[in-house]
Amino acid sequence: MRILSGIQPSGALHIGNYFGMMQPAIALQAQGEAFYFIADYHALTTLHDPAALRENSRRLALDFLACGLDPEQGALFRQSDVPQVTELAWILSTVTPMGLLERAHSYKDKIARGMAASAGLFSYPVLMAADILIYGSDLVPVGKDQKQHLEIARDLALKWNDKFGDVLRVPEPYIQEKTETVPGLDGQKMSKSYGNTIDIFSDEKETRKRVMSIVTDSTPVDAPKNPDASVVFQLFSLFATAEEAAEMRAAFAQGGRGYGDFKKQFFGKLWRYFEPMRERRGEIIAQPGYIDEVLAKGANRANAIADEVMARVRNAVGLR
């Protein structure tokens, strides 16, 4: 089974990235042939600072490795180190209905938030489809917000195969139901664009400050509180055991504790959870050249498969 997942180098990773994409993707690395790419081509739709793109890509590789990606099991590489993916995106675009892209939720949402309506942003799902299909992926871990893009990839693979023969493998999604959407500090989906994130590797002071700024209601300290409507409880539950979550739920219902106490409890749980990863991150930083070696090795593995797929694609459409 071949597993593929990717993430944009748009800045510091937050716990929404971790639970929405990284944790489920890393958990699958022992179950098949795993490929993880840093989506720097995709990042160009919003990031036009070359130095920031390079820095973000390297930081993403560092953080992914610190969080448990094993380069001996999974290939980690930059999307741009496999330029064949842009060729496949063009070939797929020649059979992509305009209506399919016009219905993409992500494009509409980003335009509504004020992003420029570029051709790259509009055709983002086609490049994402190429990312998936060029490696013959069987399984693609995605968050709920990316589910439609995977469905588009499946539609394009089926449409292309219908025209040119059964060349492209049709992937299956893997959606972790428990953590489809991680709430941010304000209750919206955690996202850098909303400024409501808790970064994985911020220092202790900044992390505590972010946790203590989580928006809560005005329920008095002594009064019972609704855990299902609380961002604090929802975030705590991501890190807690079932027993720990049940204890906090009971404390909410009983009353007598303020939200500040629950935030402190959540901070302690959060900080301890990522402690081994912070230590691993320090070890990686102390090894000059390690990240470059990992990315080069991953790119070699990815290119070998991409070359095989593209040879079949070119032959099928008459380019060879």
Catalytic residues: 110, 189, 192
Residue in 131, 180, 177, 176 with CA at minimum distance from that of residue 156: 131
The whole-angstrom separation of Cα 249 and Cα 225 is: 9
| DSSP per-residue letters across 142-153 | --GGGHHHHHHH
Strands (E), the chain: 2-7, 33-38, 74-78, 139-141, 172-174
How far apart CA 307 and CA 310 sit, in angstroms, is: 5
CA dist 137 and 123 (Å) reads 21
The token duo for 28 is 């699958």
**CA angle 45–50–56, rounded 5-degree value:** 80
| Cα 33 from Cα 4, distance rounded (Å) | 9
Quote the DSSP letter at residue 220: -
Integer Cα distance of 89 and 94 in angstroms: 9
The closest of 61, 66, 27, 69 to 279, measured between CA atoms, is 66
Q: Where are the alpha helices (DSSP H) in 123-180?
A: 124-133, 147-164
C-alpha–C-alpha distance, residues 76 and 69, integer Å: 8
Rg (CA), the chain: 21
What CA dihedral angle connects 108, 21, 4 and 12, to 10 degrees? 80
